[in-house]
Amino acid sequence: TEVTSTGAKKWAKEEWYSVAMSADGSKQTAVAQHGQIWTSADEGVSWSEVTSMGGERSWYSVAMSFSGEIQTALAQEGVWRSTDYGATWTEVDLQTGWRDTSNGGMTWHSVAMSGDGQRQTAVEHSGSIWMSTDAGKAWTEVTSKGAKGLTWDCVAVSQSGDQQTAVANGDHIWMLDSGTSWVKAATGGIDFWH
């Protein structure tokens, strides 16, 4: 099946970074570096560019709930969330340093969420892990001792949100232990995860 889009010229030039889909595959969202968020509501056959956020951004990661209703996307410039299947997006405004700035803000790299979208975890290259328990509205740093300062690359979250695993480039696999504490996995050595 041929994949189509609104704005085909731009579609061909996108530098794709991440894609997520609902449990039934009907809703899909993709993000691109130096581009926009793109959404599909027909199992990926056709795609539409979301332009309501203004200019292009350096998107790194996107995740969605099983239904696709709740979505979170990470850009170098900040964190955005949607509660209407990706139709509209709102920037999360938490605190100084949340955005990547010239004086040392966040460099977001990966986000994942539970099946209902309520529990979310995001990791960033500058060395911290953040969690949300309210579908991405509010976030708290939960970086454990020994995990601070690592170059976090990827995170995964189970359907319930109780099991979570994160990897840092040049370090061990880390697992969530007792809610907000992170510990190194018992087995597995240092590697360059991505």
Which residue, 12, 3, 17, is CA-closest to 57?
Answer: 17
Count of residues making up the chain: 194
Instruction: Give bridge partners of residue 19 from the DSSP assignment.
Output: 30
Q: C-alpha angle 39/136/34, rounded to 5°?
A: 45
* Predicted local confidence at residue 103, as pLDDT: 39
Q: What is the pLDDT of residues 60-114, one digit of tens each?
A: 999 999 999 999 999 987 899 999 999 999 999 766 445 554 435 678 899 999 9
Higher-scoring residue by pLDDT: 100, 18: 18
- β-strand 90-91 against 108-113: which pairing, if any? unpaired
Higher-scoring residue by pLDDT: 127, 20: 20
Q: What is the pLDDT of residues 152-187, one digit of tens each?
A: 899 999 999 999 999 888 777 888 886 778 888 866
Which residue, 120, 155, 154, is CA-closest to 137?
Answer: 120
* Predicted local confidence at residue 102, as pLDDT: 44
Say whether domain 4-184 belongs to CATH 2.130.10.10: yes
* Predicted local confidence at residue 94, as pLDDT: 63
Q: What is the pLDDT of residues 21-67, one digit of tens each?
A: 999 999 999 999 989 999 999 999 999 999 888 888 899 999 999 99
Q: What is the pLDDT of residues 112-125, one digit of tens each?
A: 999 999 999 999 88
